[in-house]
Amino acid sequence: MGFGHGHGHGAPATGTAAYAYRKRMAVVLGIIASITVVQVIGAWWSGSMALLADAAHSLTDGTGVAVALLATIIAARPASSKRTFGLQRVEILAALTNALIVGVVAVLVTIGGMRRLVEPGEVESGVMLAAAAAGLVGNCVALLVLRRGQKESLNVRGAYLEVFGDMLGSIAVVSAAVVIMVSGYLRADAIASILIGVLILPRAWMLLRDVLNVLMEATPRGVDLDDVRTHMLEVPGIVDVHDLHAWTITSGVPVISAHVVVDDLRLDECGSESILDGLHGCLAGHFDIEHSTFQIEPRGHVDHEHARHD
């Protein structure tokens, strides 16, 4: 018979990457809310479609950050017998919501810009420039707040990408306002609107792709299973590794499971604890994977299994 053993019993919910940055996300939410108010007032006052598109994008950013922040709070609830990893996957579902919302906004903004391109309207370029510049400054501050966390959490990364796209949108609106002020070319406003839509869509796709990889339990990014297998086989006594699987519970919580065939003599001499400690240390040291589960199989057990299925 095999010996089952797990190291790490699921990362505590408060250990998720997004949870560590919840205060920064709250600060960013406040910044985005302020930007949105300024842009909406500026769009109404100036008649700028591009500024309205940027305001809609900011509103989407704020919604996304609010959902992400709520997800980190919910995910902090402790695990139970029914949900052994707690609600950590809520973070991934929140990131999925973000991706879908951003995608829809991108389409709507692009359509609105195309309509304004055909029938340009009057724009108060001075008001447009002031509101867009205020939004640009706010976005830059928000990016600085989120810069570190976006490398560790899908949710924080989603918020970072949204704010980054909004910053590019603000640059486009500032540029359009300057063009209108200098040349009176009103279609610059519509062009900026379309540009904002085009900038948003790829970000939505990238985030959606990463979320789907997690939900489909794909191998975590940066983890090469062949490399993992090679390192595991270097642990003294290990002669084979099969049924090797790796997936992600939520951002920053990768998991590995495997059946490990151990030399009978080594198993008798050292026992399973020594083997398991070696495997756990290997994965934690080389791949930063703390949650691993192994089924230890004596070589004789594997031979018996093969004979039974022949």
Residue 152 has pLDDT above 70, yes or no: no
DSSP 220: P
Tens digit of each residue's pLDDT (9 = 90 or more) over 40-95: 999 999 988 888 888 887 887 787 778 767 766 776 678 778 887 777 788 788 78
Q: Which of 153-162, 185-194, 250-259 has the lowest mean pLDDT?
A: 153-162
Cβ atoms of residues 116 and 193 within 8 Å:
yes
Six-digit token string for 30: 């406040």
Of residues 15 and 111, more confidence is placed in 111
Percent share of the chain, pLDDT over 70: 86
What is the predicted pLDDT for the residue at 205? 86
Tens digit of each residue's pLDDT (9 = 90 or more) over 180-206: 999 999 999 999 988 888 877 887 888
Q: What is the mean pLDDT of the chain?
A: 82
SS3 291: strand
Domains within the chain, CATH numbers bracketed: 13-215 (1.20.1510.10), 219-309 (3.30.70.1350)
Q: Where is 253: in which H helix or E strand? A: strand 253-262
What is the predicted pLDDT for the residue at 272? 84
Six-digit token string for 170: 């603000």
What is the predicted pLDDT for the residue at 9? 42
The edge-to-edge listing of strands for the beta sheet with 253-262 is 3-7, 291-298, 253-262, 238-250
Q: Give the count of beta carbons closer than 10 Å to the beta carbon of residue 62.
A: 23
The confidence band for 237, taking pLDDT boundaries of 50, 70 and 90, is confident
**Interval 282-288 mean pLDDT:** 90
Whole-number Å distance between alpha carbons of 129 and 135: 10
Whole-number Å distance between alpha carbons of 71 and 18: 9
